[in-house]
Structure 1
Amino acid sequence: MEELLNVVSEGINKINTNIARNKKYFDYPFTTNCGHFYKLLLLHSQVECWEQFLKLLNKFKGDRDVTFTKQCEEFEKRITIEKSMVPGFVTQDTLNQMIEYMRTLEWKVEELLRKESHVFSKERNE
């Protein structure tokens, strides 16, 4: 995730540098070329899109960096209480929380597998 954030940030910096360079072109008195104005407009549009994408990635990173604890016992208690009230019924809120917890576990497992495969491939190359 960090690598992706770094790549997107570098891309945004490159576009901003390109915008700054194209703006300097307009300081000269002979710049009546509409193509450069259009290019500058497109660069601004690109940087806005990439900044929105970076915000979305940071949001996902914030969602995934949640420290989690074992919740099996808590879910077990909630399910038994809900089943005792109405037999065979579990509330939608409990199910949604269980699904969200499973997603965070999957993210952590994927991260660990990626790290493990990266370390394994690095050891194999050495």
Structure 2
Amino acid sequence: MMSRSQSRDDLRRWLSPPDPSTNHNVARGSHHDGTASWFTRGNTYKQWKMTGSLLWIHGKPGSGKSILCSTIIHEIEQLQETGAALMAYFYFDFKDIGKQDVRSLLSSILIQLSK
């Protein structure tokens, strides 16, 4: 009989999801003090955190979506460590062929939520 971790490892290999943390870490490295504070102090963000719904950030290339998302992810990761939140995230990246389609998104989210 297979253990849970063995099953999860087999599922991970089969799905072969891309790792969104690489994009997150690059974006976090571009932060300066106060980056995205205009958003994290705003009503949209506060309401989203209270409802626990989907937050979809979209915009033109180079408009700061990745930096904004990395700020939000960082904040939610801190809540997740205390057990107060559950999160999965994904960066579509047109420089990385493995992060350009829905299958990549779904496999990545599935693996993150299975942890």
TM-score (norm 2): 0.31
Could you say which structure has the larger radius of gyration?
Answer: 1
TM-score (norm 1): 0.29
- Bigger share in helix: 1
